[in-house]
Each structure stands twice: as C-alpha cells, then as structure tokens.
A and B are shown apart, each in its own frame.
Chain A
C-alpha cells in the first residue's frame, strides 16, 4: 500500500470511529440525565439544604423556574446539550464552581498518574510475560504466573494500603500521599517522590493481566512454523524469541491496550483515593455522596470520551503496525 493510501485509510478509520463516538456520547449523556431525573433527590432542596424550612416559597419557586426542573426531561436535556457543546457543563452543587473548572483543575494530575502507571504496567507486563513464556514450565514461569493470579485477585486499594504501610509508614522512604510535603512548594523532585507509590501500585495491579496475555500469545507464537523455521536456520534463542515470536504476538496486544483503559480508570479512582492524589477521584466520590449530578455527569462523560479516544488510538496503531489489516474492518 502506498503512503497516501495508508493516510487516507487511517483518515477514514478515524472518521468512522468519531461517527460512532458521537451517538455513544449522546446516549451516555442522555442516560445519565434520565438517571439524575429518576433520582429521588430534589436538586432545589439540596441547594437550600436545611434552609429550605424557613425559605421564602416564592424564592424556591423562582429557583425552580430558573433551573427549569419542572420542564420535560427532553427539553431540559437539549438545553443542557446546547451549553455542553460550548464547554459549559453547568455548576457543581457541592463545590459551588463550574463543572468545567472543577475538572480542569484536577484532570492534569489524573492524566499524569494514568500515563505513568500505564507505561509502567506495559513494560512490566511485557518483560514478565516474555520471561514466563521463554522459561515455560520452569520455576520463573511458575512464580510469574502464580504471582499474577494472586495480584489479579487482590483489590488495588488493598495493595495501595499495604504499600502505604510498608514504604511510607514503616520504612519512611516515600511520602504517603498528597502532591507535596507540608509547607513545600511544588517542584519536580517533590512531584516525583509523591508519584512513585501511587503509580507503582496502579501499575503493579494492572501488569499481571498484560503479563498473562503476553505469555499466552507468545506461547502460541512459539509453536508456529516460522518460529520452527527460524530455529532450524540456527538463529540464537534470543533472536528467535524476541525478534520473531514476540513481534507477531504483540499485534493483538495493541488492540487490548484500548480495551484495558476502562479498568485502568477504575483502578486510578481507587488508588487516588488511597494516596489522596489531587485528581478527579475525590471530586467523583464527593459528587456521588452529595448527589451532585452536574459534576458526576461531567466526569462520567469525560471518562467515556477518554475510553473512546483510547480505542481509536489503539485501532490506528494496530492498522499502522500490521499492513495486512484493512482500514475498513
């Protein structure tokens, strides 16, 4: 395929994925909207809190009118949508700030944590999976596989608390949470020191799945004829495993990276909570506890968009990596 063919093919792929993403986001946002409406909690009463008892009924009625809570759901939704496309997701009831600002303040930190731990998990998974498959049946393989199963079964927040206890509380090697030490300005050294534990815990909880997947695929590749052929040509073991078998077994791995994103986001929510990382997790939990649907909806939509984007990137990478893959599949 010529260079321009690839580019236009990818363009079409991206376009098709985006066309799928729009209805998904619309349906998800409408679903969230209906859920919020179905909630027994009354937003106006929440806004007033206990003050509703002595509140002027006219003022309550005025706010009901202003907020449009008595209009049909579809009408309210289209009004919300009209604002949403301009980046205005309403105001958070619990934090008394615009939703866009609440998310904007926290998103960067969450993305940083996600990116670092995703990279780490990937490297760990690749290395351990390759080692396990290479030494199939040996003690190394058994140790890696059993360790992976145990880690897969352990809740990530439990691992986080364990790491917190050992490295922050007992050994005092690393800080136990937050972004900086008390009364310290934010600089790179502080940031790295505080990032190590949460990122490592999230990576270690995600890596087993990658490792088991790489091991499984590599083992299947090792039985293929071209691997036998490479061995018959007398290539060293290292070359055969790394250059021949691993390369082909990595292809399905790429698509799975996108599919793993929801799990990663769920894990990040829990890890951020354990280490009081200033990302979106705390805002999410507070929004849920305070029945703050504007914020909760904004966060959920954002995560959904992130997942869709991750899938798109994985598809593009896959198409780039494997010339056999058509762009219309």
Chain B
C-alpha cells in the first residue's frame, strides 16, 4: 500500500515545507496588512487627536457598534482609536528596542568573532550567563532599578534581547574569516580596521538587518508583558499592554471587547511583521529554512 505521504515525500526530496501558503501569498498578505497598520498608526493620530485623560461616562462600556467598531471602555473612550494609539506606542518601543539590542548584539558578536581567543570565550560565556536568566524576570529587575518609564522599558528590552544577534553575528564572522577574500585583503596589507569595515561588516549587514526585524515582535511582546504587569508604560498612556491590563476589571462585568481588541491588533501586527521577515529570511538563507524563529 502506497499512501499519500510517501508519494509526496518521494516526489520531492526536500520535504521541508515552508509556512502555510506560498511565499508569494505570504509576502503579499503580510505586506498589505502591515502597510494598512503602518498607515493607520501614522495617519490616524495626525487626524484624530486622542485625549488620554478624556472621560465621557455617558458613553462608557458600550459594546461594539457602527459608531465604535471595538466599543468603548469604562471611561467612554473609543477602543479602536486607543488601540491604534497603543499599537503606535508599542511598535515604536519595539522598533527602537529591537534596533538598540541588535546593535549591542552586533558589537559583541563582531568583537568575539574577530578577536577570537580568550575574548571570544569570555564574551560567549557572558552570553550564556545572561541567557540563563529568564528574560522577563531580568527585564523586571532592570525596570525596578530604573523605575517604570518608557526609557527604562526600552533599556530593559535591549539588555535582555541582544543575545541572539550576538550569536548570529559571531558565527557569521567566524565563517567569513576563513574566506579567501579576507586572506587576500590581509595579504594586500589592509589594516585590521579596514578588513573589519570593508570586508566583514558589509557581509554580515543583511543578517543583522534580518535579525533586527525578527526581533521586533519579541520586543513588542516584552513591552506588553511589562506593561501588563504594571511595570511598563505610564498608566495613563495607551499602550497595548496597559489597555489589556486596564480591561481586566471590565472583563468581570462582561466587557470582553476591551481586552479582545488590543490583543487582536497585536497578533495581526506581529504576524504581519514576522511573516514578512520570514519570507525575507528564506530568501537570504534558502538552505536554513526553519519555522521556529518565526
């Protein structure tokens, strides 16, 4: 008996299928969704002003309707509008923190990979050490030290999320160091700095950029988790984590839309970002197609 699985496997030796849908479909849908989100996040705040302290108790706790697609919260504020503002804050924090953490990781990775020897061993031990501390807990400690604020959230994410890019950059540098063009540059009398700047760094740049975009969803989750615990953004500020935190109370009186909406926005946005960077990653390393770092 020849079953269908076997036939399919026999037909293509490379049975490692990518995520559902063809790359083209994934690319297009992710790009369109992300485009809409980015546009909304940029345009809406410019057109409709959200007064963070606005209170209209007459319009409080309204379920979703035409006037308020995601309903209103316990103070009568439009949930959709606050979601867009919140997503803006969360995405901004996520992007800034992802860039800072990747820069930090790249510095460590380049230093470890290029210096080798005890510097490399020491730095990689440091990476292992930080990796042994659960990152949310370490983030909480850092916020506790600095006091909850936007800056300390960004610092907290950056200091806990640089490990993966440090590892990626180090291994890239190590594999590049043995290439003939690097030998040629050294033989041609290039200084260490020149080899680094002209030959090594430009070659790791695509991987670094990719690591940055892959980091954005993680950074956003970290921000929302901290805000949800009450250790993140200032309480009055609309951010996804703050909104879900505030909505907990209304949940018990039946106000499901107040927690559903911000979470849904976050899921859609992060799926679009990781979908887009996933397609990019498959193009960049076709042989290392993996779905785990999605």
Contact = CB atoms under 8 A, between A and B. Distances in A.
Interface of A: 20, 23-24, 27-28, 32, 35-36, 38-41, 134-137, 142, 145-146, 149-150, 152-155, 157-158, 161-162, 164-165, 169, 209, 212-213, 215-216, 219-220, 222-223, 231, 237, 241, 261-263, 265-266, 269-270, 273-274, 284-285, 287-289, 291, 293, 296-297, 299-300, 303-304, 307-308, 311
Contacts of A297: 141
B128 to A, nearest CB: 7
Interface string B122-148: 000100110111111110111111110
A247 B46 CA distance: 57
A307 B133 contact: yes
A72 B266 CA distance: 46
Contacts of B259: 158, 161-162, 165
Interface string B10-33: 000111110110000000000000
A157 B8 contact: no
Nearest to B270: A153
B230 A285 contact: yes
Contact of A155 (B143, B224, B271): B224
Contacts of B129: 23-24, 27-28
B221 A296 contact: no
Interface string B252-282: 1010100110010011001100100000000
A153 B76 CA distance: 29
Interface string B212-242: 0000010001001100111100000000000
Residue from A28, A39, A288, A300 whose CB has the most chain B CB atoms within 10 Å: A288
B244 A38 contact: no
Contacts of B138: 300
A216 B294 contact: no
B5 A146 contact: no
Contacts of A269: 134, 136-137, 229
Contact of B15 (A136, A146, A165): A136
B171 interface: no
Contacts of B118: none
25 contacts: A28-B132, A32-B141, A35-B141, A35-B145, A39-B146, A134-B5, A136-B17, A149-B271, A152-B294, A153-B266, A153-B267, A153-B271, A155-B263, A158-B259, A158-B263, A165-B256, A165-B259, A216-B292, A241-B5, A266-B135, A266-B137, A289-B230, A296-B140, A300-B137, A307-B134
Residue from A36, A40, A152, A273 whose CB has the most chain B CB atoms within 10 Å: A152
Interface of B: 1, 3, 5-6, 8-9, 13-17, 19-20, 125, 128-129, 131-138, 140-147, 217, 221, 224-225, 228-231, 244, 247-248, 251-252, 254, 256, 259-260, 263, 266-267, 270-271, 274, 290-292, 294
A175 B138 CA distance: 31
A36 B136 CA distance: 17
A319 B58 CA distance: 66
Contact of B143 (A216, A288, A304): A288
A289 to B, nearest CB: 7
B47 to A, nearest CB: 28
Given A137-B8, A270-B229, A153 B20 contact: no
A219 B231 contact: no
A35 B259 CA distance: 35
A26 to B, nearest CB: 10
Nearest to B289: A216
Given A39-B144, A288-B144, A231 B137 contact: no
Nearest to A281: B229
A24 B15 contact: no
A164 B248 CA distance: 10
A265 B292 CA distance: 19
B15 A223 contact: yes
Nearest to A308: B132
Given A149-B19, A153-B274, A285 B231 contact: yes
Nearest to A166: B256
Contacts of A209: 292
A155 B225 contact: yes
B135 to A, nearest CB: 6
Contacts of A288: 140-141, 143-144, 229, 231
Which are the 5 A-B pairs with shortest beta-carbon distances? A266-B136, A158-B263, A288-B144, A262-B134, A265-B134
A167 to B, nearest CB: 12
Contacts of A169: 251-252, 254
A281 to B, nearest CB: 8
A35 B140 CA distance: 12
Contacts of A39: 144-146
B15 A296 contact: no
A271 to B, nearest CB: 11
A262 B131 contact: yes
Nearest to B240: A155
A265 B131 CA distance: 13
Given A212-B292, A288-B143, A266 B134 contact: yes
